[in-house]
Amino acid sequence: MAKKMLFMVLLSHIILCFSVVSSLNLNASLVDDKGIPRFIYVCDPERFNILGLDMAQFAYCDKSLPYNVRAKDLVDRLTLVEKAQQMTDNSSVDIPRIGLPHYKWWSEALHGVAETGDGTHFDSLVPSATVFPNVILTTASFNKTLWKTIGQAVSTEARAMHNLGRAGLTFWSPTINVVRDPRWGRTLETPGEDPYVVGVYAVNYVRGLQDIEGQENTSDPNSRPLKVSACCKHFAAYDLEEFQGVRRLEFDAKVVTEQDMVETFNRPFEMCVKDGDVSSVMCSFNRVNGIPTCADAYLLKKLVREDWNLHGYVVADCDSINEIVKNHKWLNDTVEEASAQVLKAGMDLDCGKSYLKLVDAVKQGLVKEADMDKSLNYLYVVLMRLGWFDGIPSLASLGKKDMCTEENVELAAEAAREGIVLLQNDNETLPLDPAKFKSFALIGPHANATDVMKGNYAGFPCKFITPVEGFSAFGQVTYELGCLDAKCPNDTTIQSAVDIAKNADATFLFVGLSTAIEAEWRDRKDLLLPANQTLLVNKAAEASKGPVILVIMAATGIDISFAKTNPKIKSILWVGYPGEQGGRAIAEVVFGMHNPGGRLPITWYENNYVDKLPMTSMALRPVGDYPGRTYKFFNGSTVYPFGYGLSYTSFKYEYNSADMSLDIKLNRLQHCQGLPYNDTNYKQNCSSVSIDDLTCNDEITFEITVQNVGSRDGSDAVLVYSVPPEGIVGTPFKQVVGFERVYLQANESVNVKFVLNVCQSLNIVDVSGYRLLPSGLHKIVVGDNAISIPVKISYSR
């Protein structure tokens, strides 16, 4: 009897095992009832046992072999249909025959793990992740260490979520398109308008996401381990959502000059790939000069893959191939033809389903199966570097305890504090002394903000601190929204808000924009405060008993000239979209627990700027009647210039060394290139040399003494620009070549050292896209012309 029962138990066990394999449900055996994976990596012999397989038979799991050999073994085991599935973000299926589970490629981590993409999901097990400020505000800190530290915190949470089965390992962040036009809806996602600053942000954030400490440098970059995989997007010349009926899905960005490509649009991507060693680049929706970027072999194969030497994969923005067919109607191709074209151009992974048609494309002879194998190899090598096959022991213990830690939430608050920009502070109204000011009226659509502080591409916050809550720690708060949201179409709620200003010791007006006004798909039409917000500001200011402080929550610049000249409005703060701790960070700045040191990473133009040129005009330099764009090419009057920002203290710069000069000896085979001068009588015997033709080892080293001459401790962002020699037509007025944020106690001074490579920092890009080092008198300018150091370059033979 007993024997028989044992036999039956065994039999049912065998049947169970058999049914697991035969129903091909890999999932069930690999996750527990909470959906937590029992195995967080593929090549575990026990996992193969459950599938009835012997792992030793699969070379792709042999750790002694190089990644590309293992990847080849895996790819060779796939059928054509399976290959096509593996080349899409979300259509791969479990292949129990060879022990391979499906993988969802799309996760996002722009400023914290986001809910966007099928690779990630939040639920009761992981309800939240730290929501850092939007990138535009974090950039305003000009603090490289901060940028990298946030990347590290985000990747720790991302990896923890992966271990819990809640996120993938491939995160399609950051967004590093240069802000060319002040109307662009996705400005909040970006590091602003300067290509170099954007590039430095990209490198630091990507290294924070990807690098594993101690393993940053390996001799073979294709086996360098990755904490998570980052993606620099969207390549290239993409910065328009919708302008007068022209949508990004069919926009043909033209005429984009090679000069603007090299100097502006491509530069952050080049830095991201070369210096950040990012493991993925995403091509964009738009066309550049007629060609959809995802189908442009010059951009993808030549630049990204070959010249910049990408170690990783190229992914298409979601449904791009379909848009080529449906909206661009480029060459009128079928989905099969478009898929073949983009694959041949160097696009490895489709976010969408078009690549499933590669099966037919191969059968029709439009593309070779070997081209698919090459892309699959890139994809699997990245997953191997991420430990998806073998695990990464040092990251295995990350889990729930690593989400929303006190340290990460504090870092989110710190990022907001460091980014906040003080735009005006008449008569040193700020900081307010809570001993003297005890009651506060908080007015405006963002006075009690929660979700607005998240911006876009965000997850669910650990804990919001609204402005109302943040200010309540310092005194008695009354609040009235005045407008129910940023769109403020209605003036009926204004009066009740005005009333509370009459009795408070100080009034704070929380105005600005939201993702209902600036976001993906949504460009602005003007640069004003929306609808009745201006009325709200003026009425509340007029009625206020105490000083009025304007707090602007927005990403793009707003023409607030009317508020600058209103004598009741003493102080103005720009707070971006400050993330989950925003309310606390703003209050800590207002009451002097933190001295603001942020600087604007974009120009704030006057509203009439947008009447002078359409968004669709791509040129950075002035063309015809159109003014130039960004601080590099626009010298008209602004509301606030790029790099602007005040402090509760003041800083003085000093430079005591001699002027610099450099004579570069050329050999017979190094040739000079002419430059267009505005004065035809102005002749140099050697105007310039291409930096690709020079050795470029020369460096300019100098130290600036920064002194805090005020009475409060504080931080200063020291911005260093180069100014090209006068008289060369078409150069930027100046360009950022270095920056450093420093913290100084009152009366303290520090020496800040800069080491600039002459070729990298003093080159100009000519109309053909050559990077040239001009001879003549260059200048290194620190801050707002506070210091100007002449650097003379000459060539001799």
List of residues contacting ligand NAG (CB under 6 A): 25, 27, 35, 90, 118, 143, 145-146, 149, 214, 216-217, 329, 331-332, 414, 418, 426-427, 448, 450, 466, 468, 489-492, 531-532, 622, 628, 635, 666, 678-679, 685-686, 715, 726-727, 741-743, 795-797
Q: Which is nearer to ligand NAG, 377 or 601 (CB)?
A: 601
Q: Are the CB atoms for 352 and 329 separated by under 8 Å?
A: no
Q: Which residues of 516-531 are buried (b: 16+ CB within 10 A; e: fewer)?
A: ebbbeebbbeebbbbe
Whole-angstrom distance, CA of residue 157 vs CA of residue 170: 13
Nearer to ligand NAG, 85 or 177 (CB): 85
Query: Please, what is the minimum distance in Å from the beta carbon of residue 38 to ligand NAG?
Result: 13
Classify residue 623 as exposed, middle or buried by CB count within 10 Å of its CB (0-12, 13-18, 19+): middle
379: Cβ contacts below 8 Å, ≥ 6 apart: 86, 87, 313, 348, 349
Whether the Cβ atoms of residue 244 and residue 196 lie closer than 8 Å to each other = no
CB of 27 vs ligand NAG, minimal distance in Å: 3
Q: Is residue 633 exposed (0-12), middle (13-18) or buried (19+ Cβ within 10 Å)?
A: middle
In the complex, least distance from residue 464 CB atom to ligand NAG, rounded to whole angstroms: 7
Q: Give whichever of 283 and 468 is closer to ligand NAG, judged by the CB atom.
A: 468
CB neighbours of residue 316 within 10 Å: 31
Report the residue number, 65 or 528, with the smaller CB distance to ligand NAG.
528
Cβ proximity to ligand NAG: between 703 and 726 the closer is 726
Strands (E), 279-370: 280-283, 287-288, 291-292, 313-316
Q: Tell me how far, at minimum, the Cβ of 332 lies from ligand NAG, in Å.
A: 4
CB of 112 to ligand NAG, least distance (A): 15
| 715 vs 722, beta carbon nearer ligand NAG | 715
Residue 440 — φ and ψ, nearest 5°? -130, 130
The encoded tokens of residue 531 equal 């609808």
Separation of alpha carbons 323 and 341, rounded Å: 14
How many angstroms separate the CA atoms of 179 and 605, rounded? 13
41: left (phi over 0), alpha (psi -120 to 50) or beta: beta
The helix (run of H) or strand (run of E) holding residue 539 is: helix 533-543
Question: Sign of torsion, CA 608 609 612 613?
Answer: negative
Cis status, amide bond into 236, omega within 30 of 0: yes
Instruction: Establish whether 317 is a catalytic residue.
Output: yes
- By beta-carbon proximity to ligand NAG, the closer residue of 468 and 519 is 468
Instruction: Write the CA distances from 502 to 441, 443, 546, 569, integer angstroms.
Output: 9, 12, 8, 15
- Tokens 């194969």 found at: 301
d(CA 446, CA 480): 10
Min dist. Cβ of residue 679 to ligand NAG (A): 4
**By the 8 A CB rule, do 356 and 363 touch?**
no
The set of residues, in sequence order, having a beta carbon less than 8 Å from that of 756 and lying 6+ positions away, is 699, 700, 701, 720, 722, 737, 738, 762, 780
**Spatial separation of the C-alpha atoms in residues 262 and 223, rounded to whole Å:** 30
Measuring CA to CA, which residue among 708, 723, 698, 706 is closest to residue 656?
706
Q: In this complex, which beta carbon is closest to ligand NAG, that of residue 244 or of residue 427?
A: 427
Whole-number Å distance between alpha carbons of 718 and 706: 9
3 state SS of 584 = helix
Residue 312 gets which letter from DSSP?
S
Distance CA 404, CA 401 (A): 8
317, 333, 348, 390: the active-site residue = 317
CB of 374 to ligand NAG, least distance (A): 25
Q: Which is nearer to ligand NAG, 71 or 292 (CB)?
A: 292
* Residue 342 half-sphere exposure toward CB, CA atoms < 13 A: 36
Of 769, 775, 784, 696, which Cα lies nearest the Cα of 728? 775
Write the secondary structure of 415-483 as one string of H (helix), E (strand) and C (coil).
Answer: HHHHHCEEEEEHHHCCCCCCCCCCEEEEECCCCCCCHHHHCCCCCCCCCCCCHHHHHHCCCEEEEECCC
State in angstroms the smallest separation of the CB of 596 from ligand NAG. 11
CB of 65 to ligand NAG, least distance (A): 26
**Least separation, in Å, of the C-beta of 377 and ligand NAG?**
24
- Helix axis angle for 369-385 and 335-345, nearest 10°, is 60
What is the Cα 774 distance to its own chain's centre? 32
- Cβ 742 to ligand NAG, closest distance in Å? 5
Would you tell me how many other CB atoms lie within 10 Å of the CB of residue 266? 23
Calculate ∠ Cα 477-482-487, nearest 5°.
Answer: 130
Per the listing, tokens 């040191």 go with 597
Provide the CA 341 distance to its chain's centre, in angstroms. Answer: 29
What is the nearest approach in angstroms of ligand NAG to the Cβ of residue 315?
Answer: 14
In the complex, the smallest distance separating the C-beta of residue 532 from ligand NAG, rounded to whole angstroms, is: 4
CB closer to ligand NAG out of 317 and 418: 418
Active site residues per annotation: 317
